[in-house]
């Protein structure tokens, strides 16, 4: 969707990665369709239900490196990079087979044009309390901007 914030315009995509791993590639293909040739400011945020690597996971079985390729390829093909974050970025926690697992599933990305418009952007992960996902606050700051929050709340 196209967003107007004051005199600024950009595109925002809210992404929900399919919880069934076998169906996620279809989501990545849709995102690539939106982003591969995009030259306007673009930010993506949401529950991607996927990891970039095993470093984004605590507990549970180690995944094969090849299981991350589709997500990584999508990010590389769209020329997007993660928005800097702070606090505990393990945004999901839950029990699987009597093992407590934490993963980084919720995140935000921007393209180069986004970072030129909002070079001081960051994401702050809050506390895990009412859901199995952590709320996160995105702060989209222009170069000389003092402070303005844009909060995306996951219900």
Indicate the pLDDT class of residue 35, thresholds 50, 70 and 90. very high
Q: Answer yes or no: are the C-beta atoms of 51 and 105 closer than 8 Å.
A: yes
- Strands 42-47, 8-16: pairing is parallel
Instruction: Write down the pLDDT at residue 153.
Output: 46
Phi then psi dihedrals of residue 51, to 5 deg: -110, 155
Q: Cα-flanking dihedrals φ and ψ of residue 144, to 5°? A: -105, 10
Q: What is the pLDDT of residue 34?
A: 94
Q: In Å, what is the CA distance from 19 to each residue of 8, 22, 106, 140? A: 34, 9, 13, 28
- Output the CATH code of domain 2-152: 3.60.10.10
Domain ranges of the chain: 2-152
Encoding tokens for residue 122? 């960051």
The string of pLDDT tens digits covering residues 109-146 is: 999 999 999 999 988 877 766 677 777 777 777 666 55
Calpha distance 9→101 (Å, rounded) = 39
Tokens of 149: 């929050």
Instruction: Specify the pTM.
Output: 0.85
pLDDT at 36 over 60: yes
Q: Residue 53's closest CA among 69, 41, 40, 37?
A: 69
The span from the CA of 34 to the CA of 145, in Å, is 29
């Amino acid at each position: 969707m196209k967003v107007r914030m004051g005199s600024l315009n950009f595109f925002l995509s809210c992404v929900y990665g399919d919880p069934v791993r076998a169906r996620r590639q279809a989501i990545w293909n849709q995102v690539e369709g939106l982003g591969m040739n995009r030259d306007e400011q673009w930010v993506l945020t949401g529950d991607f239900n996927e990891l970039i690597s095993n470093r984004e996971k605590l507990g549970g079985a180690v995944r094969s490196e090849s299981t991350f390729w589709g997500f990584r390829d999508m990010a590389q093909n769209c020329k997007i990079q993660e928005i800097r974050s702070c606090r505990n970025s393990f945004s999901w926690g839950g029990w699987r087979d009597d093992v407590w697992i934490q993963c980084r599933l919720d995140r935000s990305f921007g393209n180069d044009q986004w970072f030129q418009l909002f070079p001081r952007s960051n994401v702050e992960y809050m506390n895990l309390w009412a859901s199995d996902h952590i709320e996160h606050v995105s702060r989209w700051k222009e170069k000389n901007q003092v402070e303005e929050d844009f909060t995306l709340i996951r219900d």
